[in-house]
């Protein structure tokens, strides 16, 4: 993708013809805005269709519902018990209680089925920088040359 093309920010009401189309958009937008989202909750289209027997959604959507959250979503889990567990204390976490999310739902618009953004919060409680994005555990990947070098080892 060309670097001079701006990917528009998602907004409530945006439609996608399938989950792969949405993921392609989200990957490009995430790279541009330095945000990393993961699936917190989802329902397959077959499960979602059980609650709408009169007008089921087509299988081509792949999902009937999905909620994606920032990887910093949630709070660090703490042990309430002071009993020895054999685990090391004070482990670090990337959880910062960030509330950024994108929520999708399968909808009919006339005769066309789509995945529509029905909920959205893009306000993060942590910095979004290119340096942090590049070092994020989900984005650290070997390029093809590095991968080939590893295969030779």
Structure confidence by residue, pLDDT tens digits, 22-77 = 999 998 888 888 888 888 888 998 888 888 888 899 998 999 999 998 877 766 66
* Other residues' Cβ atoms within 10 Å of the Cβ of residue 30: 19
Establish if 28 belongs to a structural domain: yes
DSSP E strand boundaries for 15-91: 15-16, 37-44, 63-70
Establish if 99 belongs to a structural domain: yes
Which pLDDT belongs to residue 22?
94
Which pLDDT belongs to residue 1?
46
Share of the chain above pLDDT 90, in %: 31
Residue 128 pLDDT more than 90?
no
Residue with the bigger pLDDT between 121 and 81: it is 121
The pTM of this model reads 0.72
| Alpha carbon separation from 106 to 16, 51, 69, 120, 149 (Å, rounded) | 9, 12, 18, 15, 44
Establish if 138 belongs to a structural domain: no
Q: Which residue in this structure is represented by tokens 């999902």?
A: 63
Structural domains counted in the chain = 1
Quote the domain boundaries for residue 56: 11-77+94-121
Establish if 6 belongs to a structural domain: no
Residue 142 pLDDT more than 70?
no
Residue 103 pLDDT more than 50?
yes
State both tokens at 123: 């306000």
- Helix, strand or coil for residue 4? coil
Establish if 137 belongs to a structural domain: no
Q: Does residue 98 contact residue 72 with C-beta atoms inside 8 Å? A: yes
Establish if 49 belongs to a structural domain: yes
């Amino acid at each position: 993708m060309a670097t001079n093309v701006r990917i528009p920010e998602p907004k409530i009401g945006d439609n996608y013809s399938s989950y792969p189309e949405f993921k392609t958009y989200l990957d490009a937008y995430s790279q541009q805005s330095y945000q990393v989202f993961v699936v917190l909750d989802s329902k397959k289209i077959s499960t979602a269709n059980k609650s709408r027997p009169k007008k089921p959604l087509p299988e081509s959507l792949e999902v009937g519902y999905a909620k994606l959250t920032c990887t910093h979503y949630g709070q660090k889990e703490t042990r309430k018990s002071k009993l020895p567990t054999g685990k090391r204390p004070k482990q670090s976490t990337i959880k910062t209680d960030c509330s950024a999310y994108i929520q999708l739902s399968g909808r009919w618009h006339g005769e066309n089925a789509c995945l529509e953004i029905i909920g959205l919060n893009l306000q993060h409680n942590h910095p979004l920088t290119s340096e942090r994005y590049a070092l994020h555990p989900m984005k650290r990947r070997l390029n093809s040359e590095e991968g080939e070098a590893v295969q030779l080892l």
